[in-house]
Chain A
Amino acid sequence: MHELSIAMSILDAVQEEVDRHGYPGIEAVHLRVGDLSGVVPGALSAAYEMAAEMTPFAGSRLVIETVPVVIHCARCACDRPVDTVRVMCCPECGDPSNQLVQGRELEVQALEVSS
């Protein structure tokens, strides 16, 4: 249910960008959503569609790129994606790691602006 709060934050962010740059309209909003961001893409899309109805951005699309969780493995001395967020270990050597390189992202990446 918190996806509705997130959707409204996205719309606020889009409104700010529109106010700042004077874009004539928004066709789509591109997001980056990490697997450990606490947001479910499907639920967010539904919440966005609903929340956007009451704004000038009604009908705009949400394009979500999910960002896999990558940890830094000290033993292998490199960054590796985990197999599952339930096991925060290096998939190669099995060492546990708390060094998150990516996976918590919750970002507006880009806007598709009407010409």
Chain B
Amino acid sequence: MTAVTPRIVEVRRNILKRNDEIAHTLRQRFQDAGVFVVSLVSSPGSGKTAFLEKTLTLLGRTCRAAALVGDLATDNDAARLARSGAPVKQISTGTVCHLEAAMVQDALADWDLSRLDYLFIENVGNLVCPASWDLGEDLRAVLLSVTEGEDKPAKYPTIFNSSDVAVITKMDLAAAVEFDLAAARRHIDSVRPGMAVMQVSARTGAGLPDWLEFLAARYRDSGRTPSA
């Protein structure tokens, strides 16, 4: 009797193909609706929600912005963001540590995106898990607060490498925690050469005008025009 040997068949398919297909559909929908989509990733407690609340409030003066916020269990962040006056929707991920394109698609099912200029997607606070999932966004912003240490990018190279802009938050605390800005910038540039770096304080408002200007430039570069 001859031994039965398995045969090897080539497959070659992307494991996250389904997510990528949904992300592609979303990206097309965002493009058609003329809405510029920014996702925010960071570790828990980096000041994502405070930063986003300020961003929504300031943007709301001249254009229409909205937010989706991913959270494991509570709707505290959504409630805080709603104070900005912008439309906000919560995505409860339960025990899932990251957002996936299908969750964004479900959350936006009944939204009229053509009424928006900007949509922000706040991911679950986590610098590891969200990295692999494309959400159809135009821009991925990674946040790093001065209280976390300058070498965060070296510890989490994947998420920093997959992001388009780094935002250093809580700059008002920089002196108190002896934050070495030059070292942080070096670490960021090492894992993602040439990435734009913003320095902001949601509390004092410092750096927010630069951030809004940066967003406006990216919005224009994307070929979108403000909704009437």
Contact = CB atoms under 8 A, between A and B. Distances in A.
A109 B158 CA distance: 22
A112 B161 contact: no
Interface string A74-97: 000000000001111100000011
A6 B15 contact: yes
A93 to B, nearest CB: 13
A96 B194 contact: yes
B157 interface: yes
Contact of B132 (A2, A89, A110, A114): A2
Interface of A: 1-2, 5-6, 9-10, 12-13, 17, 21, 23, 27-28, 30-31, 36-39, 85-89, 96-98, 104, 106-115
A13 B20 CA distance: 14
The A contact surface, by secondary structure, is: mixed
B13 A107 contact: yes
29 contacts: A1-B129, A2-B128, A9-B16, A9-B18, A9-B19, A10-B15, A13-B13, A13-B17, A23-B9, A31-B15, A36-B158, A38-B131, A38-B158, A39-B132, A85-B157, A86-B153, A86-B154, A86-B157, A86-B190, A86-B191, A87-B190, A88-B192, A98-B192, A98-B193, A107-B14, A111-B9, A111-B11, A112-B6, A113-B7
Given A37-B132, A98-B192, 11 more contacts: A2-B97, A9-B15, A9-B19, A36-B157, A86-B157, A86-B190, A106-B14, A109-B12, A112-B8, A113-B6, A115-B5
B157 A96 contact: no
B27 interface: no
Interface string B161-198: 11000000000000000000000000001111110000
A33 to B, nearest CB: 9
The B contact surface, by secondary structure, is: mixed
A38 B18 contact: no
Nearest to A2: B129
Interface string B76-114: 000000000000000000001110100000000000000
Interface of B: 4-19, 96-98, 100, 128-129, 131-132, 153-154, 157-159, 161-162, 189-194
A88 B17 contact: no
Contacts of A31: 15
Contact of A106 (B16, B100, B157, B161): B16
B132 A106 contact: yes
Contacts of A30: 8
Which of B14, B15, B16, B191 has the most A CB atoms < 10 Å from its CB? Answer: B15
A110 B6 contact: no
B193 A97 contact: yes
